[in-house]
Chain A
């Protein structure tokens, strides 16, 4: 019983129920949606979002934010794409992409954790620089003519109709989740985000943890960039823009609190599926994809406002309970003497 309660109270479960409800509603409106191919398409199309959102989740766990993930994704996609187009070794190209991601993460981490610059502002700056570098690297042109087997690999399926990419992403997310919850170092992230000075006092290296979070965030966006390349098959000069905001939205939908210290990467992955399927679901419901942004905005605002109101209510309730407990104790001690 208490286990069931615990499961229900977990925030990512709420997000999962929301996703399920969304699928059921769409299915009731259009029964064609209830097919293996369309439901697995929802999950498969979310793979890039999932990786970016999980990276973003690390930055948010430690109480910061990273809005440069979109252009990291785009820059890595441009570099890897053009390397592959020019016939470079796959391993070499992927390693280059991951190194770029790690360097970007290191710079962001330095600015935010060491220099103590507000993260939104610092990463907004790196975002602009990366976007400009992307133009320069590609010369403003599209990166096209990627090797065919690289593109075709994106449609290879593994379990049922799930692509290899999505299965690997799920595996990655689950192992990250286990590392975060079951290991000592993994718990540092949540601890730092919950209370940075408290974490420092008990001997957790807060600065190093924050830098690590940013490096992981950069690596995940780089990985997302590589998969983006393979799935889409070409890279334009605006590729990746908008992913930053959608990743934040996915994290919030997945029950991660933007104040840091609350949430799981599983939640981020579920939020990413919701974000990625909205436009797909709209088509099934007979709306044009023009509604995409408006609906995303409405869902995002509704969820955060409801969450904030609920949190405020619990905080208020706890405060009242504490106050009541304190006054009753005081009354007992004073033997009913009222002040």
Chain B
């Protein structure tokens, strides 16, 4: 049983690793600059938000929901930190804590409507994406700085988050990201809470009958994804040195692509943290490598990522088509027969 369950996941992750290696090979051979560690590590800042947020959106999608409000929470966090620091005189550390709490509250609100009022996740997070982006804009009007300029001039102690390099090479953001991967992995794959997330995704009623508070579990996943978005917002603000209310805009497709490419079923019940982490890295390197090696304008990057998303979902739909699976298993069976008859 264990073998059966682990086998397909393993092969999908292997496929992702191969895809990642291919990316390195193609981009590296096209332009050797791509492989320079300093440049590679520096590029992380362009897609660290996708990586961080997709880890926890995986949780949401395993329960069968979806979260498209995370990009606006990134912007909300950023502008909250800026305004609290500049116009309310808080130290950046306290401002960060407040911003993360605010994000958790936003996630809890959406999660509450989804889990306890049984509204579709898609609609609530759609409303949430308007609401929190609007909130971010309103908060930015509290500031003395014009909202389109963004608030800058943070002290070095705050920018340190994105400027410090472990051993002089590895940016601190990567350490934060690795920490988040470990936490997400342990939480999802090694704890009772993680098992209940899967069970809620497979069958919420059965989970409820087996004593799991399925509503609380659902709500908690939205809080987690909002908090991860807040952390991404902090890191981005520290890196750019500017707090803006629209930092995360346009990331929705990238995040969903990372989660789906990582092997999470959008209908719920299946998914893995490692898969998402690998997939997010694939997307990130694509976003970094295409402009560097093929002179693709960054604004065209939606095409390869959209194609990737569609190819993956259609490919998986074809593979899970009963007619195709029957044929595949027949082939495998015949092969086995041939081997055993020998």
Contact = CB atoms under 8 A, between A and B. Distances in A.
A133 interface: yes
B141 A288 contact: yes
Contacts of A129: 302-303, 306-307, 310
B131 A294 contact: yes
Interface in A106-156: 111, 115-118, 120-122, 124-133, 135-136, 140
Q: How extensive is the interface on chain A, given as a class? A: 35 or more
B314 A290 contact: no
Contact of A124 (B129, B138, B256, B300): B256
Interface stretch (A3-11, A78-86, A222-230, A304-312): A304-312
Interface in A71-117: 111, 115-117
Given A118-B313, A126-B310, A301-B113, A258 B137 contact: no
B314 A111 contact: yes
Given A121-B256, A124-B309, A125-B309, A245 B130 contact: yes
Interface of A is mostly: helix
Contact of B120 (A111, A116, A259): A259
B119 A135 contact: no
Contacts, number: 149
Interface string A218-241: 000000000000000000010000
Nearest to A244: B126
A248 interface: yes
B134 interface: yes
Nearest to A116: B317
A304 B123 contact: yes
Interface string B87-102: 0000000000000000
With most chain A CB atoms within 10 A of its CB, the pick from B141, B267, B309, B318 is: B309
A120 B129 contact: no
A217 interface: no
Given A121-B309, A308-B118, A294 B127 contact: no
A288 B146 CA distance: 14
B67 to A, nearest CB: 12
B236 interface: no
B117 A305 contact: yes
Contacts of A132: 299-303, 306
Contact of A248 (B123, B138, B299, B318): B123
B78 to A, nearest CB: 16
13 contacts: A121-B309, A122-B310, A124-B252, A124-B257, A131-B302, A132-B299, A140-B297, A290-B147, A296-B127, A296-B131, A297-B132, A297-B134, A304-B119
Interface of A: 65, 111, 115-118, 120-122, 124-133, 135-136, 140, 237, 245, 248-249, 252, 258-259, 288, 290-298, 300-301, 304-305, 307-309, 312
